[in-house]
Amino acid sequence: MRREGRSPVVGGCGRRCGIVRVRSGFDGARGRRRAVGRRDVIGRARKKPEGGGPEAIQRILGLVEGTQQGQNLGAGARKEIEEACNSIASTSSPVEVNDELSKSWKLVFTTEKETLFICSSAKKLLGLDTEVRQVIDLERKRLQNRIEFSNGASFVVDSSLSTDAKNDRRANFEFTGAKLALPSSVFNLPPVGKGWFDNLYIDETYRLAVDSRNDILLVQNVGEPDFFD
């Protein structure tokens, strides 16, 4: 097993794979500002928010601190995080799918239940720490989501990645392979599913996205694409 370094340039997890799922469901995130009162991704009509951008990201970072990447998220905190996401989507410039995405991204926070279940179960049942990464290379049209366990094992889901001609913020993906890689052996799993995600915000450090299941993803840039093959 080796990790593949970046070749000139790559790609999420889909419907039920348990890894960072980066599909997007924010109803209003379509590459333009939303009108006041329009139903947002969470499905509620809101007044126009008061601000987005880096300040909103810092607000989200403060809200998710201590939640163990979302495992201990209360309903009140989730509502505040959703409001901050809507603020960013409504007031920030559209985030187009481009080479800025081609990075290795480490999970900071997610509401994706399968990912959180795997991470919490690994800790509670096996005493294993986890790190979740999403690796994107747009040039190679590749996306990989993986959960790395502290015993050297990894759960890896590979997907193809494509842009959406009707939505500049959106990337579509479809699973192409999945495996559980143990230190001594590899078990291939059938990949099933496809989806999409919208990018709400990106800078040199953080990226915020929402997916077709209304899950929120906040990740941190940790360098060039670093695939596990």
Tokens in use for 155?
A: 């759960």
Q: What are the pLDDT digits (tens) for 10-21?
A: 234 444 443 333
Question: Which of 10-14, 53-57, 78-82, 132-136 has the weakest average pLDDT?
Answer: 10-14
Q: Which CATH number fits domain 3-30+95-228: 2.40.50.180, 3.30.1360.30, 2.40.128.280, 3.40.50.410?
A: 2.40.128.280
What is the structure's pLDDT at 87?
A: 86
Q: How far is Cα 183 from Cα 186, in angstroms, rounded to an integer?
A: 8
Q: How far is Cα 42 from Cα 195, in angstroms, rounded to an integer?
A: 17
Q: What are the pLDDT digits (tens) for 94-115?
A: 788 999 999 999 999 999 999 9
Q: Are 180 and 189 in contact (CB under 8 A)?
A: yes
Indicate if the pLDDT at residue 52 is higher than 90.
no
Helix ranges restricted to H, 147-225: none
What is the structure's pLDDT at 130?
A: 97
Q: Are 193 and 56 in contact (CB under 8 A)?
A: no
Domain boundaries, the chain: 3-30+95-228
Q: How far is Cα 207 from Cα 217, in angstroms, rounded to an integer?
A: 8
Exposure string for 153-163, b = 16+ CB within 10 A, e = fewer: bbbbbbbbbbb
Top-confidence residue, 22 or 94: 94
Query: Which candidate, 78, 81, 73, places its Cα nearest to that of 120?
Result: 73
- The radius of gyration of the chain from alpha carbons, rounded to an integer in Å, stands at 17
Indicate if the pLDDT at residue 36 is higher than 90.
no
Q: How far is Cα 170 from Cα 55, in angstroms, rounded to an integer?
A: 23
Q: How far is Cα 29 from Cα 132, in angstroms, rounded to an integer?
A: 25
What is the structure's pLDDT at 126?
A: 96
Q: Are 162 and 172 in contact (CB under 8 A)?
A: yes
Using pLDDT thresholds of 50, 70 and 90, give the confidence band for residue 91. confident
Cβ atoms within 10 Å, residue 126: 12
Q: What are the pLDDT digits (tens) for 173-223?
A: 999 999 999 999 999 998 888 999 999 999 999 999 999 899 999 999 999
